[in-house]
Amino acid sequence: MVNRTRNLYLVPYITWIALFVVAPIVLIVYYSFFDVEGQFTLGNYAKFFTPVYMRMTFSSFWYALLITLFSLLVAYPTAYLLTRLKHKQLWLLLIILPSWINLLLKAYAFLGLFGTYGFANAVLEMVGIGTQQILFTDFSFIFVSVYIFIPFMVLPIYNALEELNPSLVYASRDLGASSWTTFRRVIFPLTLDGVKAGCQAVFIPALSLFMITRLIAGNRVITLGTAIEQHFLVTQDWGMGATIAVFLIIAMAIIMIITGNRR
């Protein structure tokens, strides 16, 4: 009886996973074998290996890598500082707060901030540097993406730092290690899991960014996400869109395996 009840409780989860995880992936793979006219083909896969798509893949990975790297550079010290503060929970809440606001709204806000007559340029003008083009550059794209992803990087690192046993740090200091050595040899290795989780949470969504590429980068940065959106909405070439999605899924799976915990 107990067993049967337990199985019954599983039904909603299994249905959910079957309908919203397994079925869509199967459909994506299925669609990737059809061309625009609905004929069976392997041509989409051949097309993916042409220079256009290869360059797109490369630039997607490159930008995702940069975004992850800068997020980590900002997030690690932030998380470290957070654990030393008095009202940690409050500060943490303040850092997470922006992620409650819709992505699109934030992107539109940056359109205003970074514009030729926006706040950022007004400041630059005031300090005597003069108006620069900020919007529609690599800089603005990476800046805004990092801003959006920081909470996802801070949280896991913060948790890892919180779990760290402080007596290990004291022991290291007692034994004569400098602050830097303590960080390099004790703190960082022990929080590596948090860093990995954070990198996953940033790198994978960053690979398929698409709205920001248009709004903030003015389509000067083309990622695989942009191409998928185009194929599904404009060209209606669902096959090619699905093929790119298949490669993205494979790439993500590989990243999960590499950064996953092998215990």
Q: Looking at this protein, which amino acid is placed at residue 200?
A: Q
Q: What radius of gyration do the chain's Cα atoms show?
A: 23
- Please give the backbone phi and psi of residue 218, each rounded to the nearest 5 degrees, phi first: 55, 35
219: contact with other proteins by CB under 8 A: yes
Q: Which of 227, 228, 242, 246 binds other proteins (CB under 8 A)?
A: 227
Extended beta strands in the chain, E state = none
* Residues 138-149: b if buried by 16+ CB within 10 A, e if exposed: eebbbbbbbebb
Q: Which of 34, 44, 56, 161 binds other proteins (CB under 8 A)?
A: 56
Q: Smallest distance from the beta carbon of 260 to other proteins, in angstroms?
A: 33
Q: In whole angstroms, what is the distance from residue 236 CA to residue 255 CA?
A: 29
Q: In whole angstroms, what is the distance from residue 57 CA to residue 46 CA?
A: 14
Q: Using CB under 8 A as the criterion, what x/- string covers residues 120-159 for binding other proteins? A: -------------x-xx-----------------------
Q: In whole angstroms, what is the distance from residue 95 CA to residue 101 CA?
A: 12
160: contact with other proteins by CB under 8 A: no
Entry field: residues in the chain = 263
Stretch that binds other proteins, among 91-99, 181-189, 193-201, 209-217 (CB under 8 A): 209-217
By C-beta, is 53 or 80 nearer to other proteins? Answer: 53
105: contact with other proteins by CB under 8 A: no
Stretch that binds other proteins, among 26-34, 172-180, 200-208, 230-238 (CB under 8 A): 230-238
209: contact with other proteins by CB under 8 A: no
Q: In whole angstroms, what is the distance from residue 255 CA to residue 201 CA?
A: 11
Q: Which chain residues interact with other proteins by CB under 8 A?
A: 5, 8, 36-37, 52, 55-56, 59, 108, 111, 115-117, 133, 135-136, 214-215, 217-220, 222, 227, 230-231, 233-237, 240
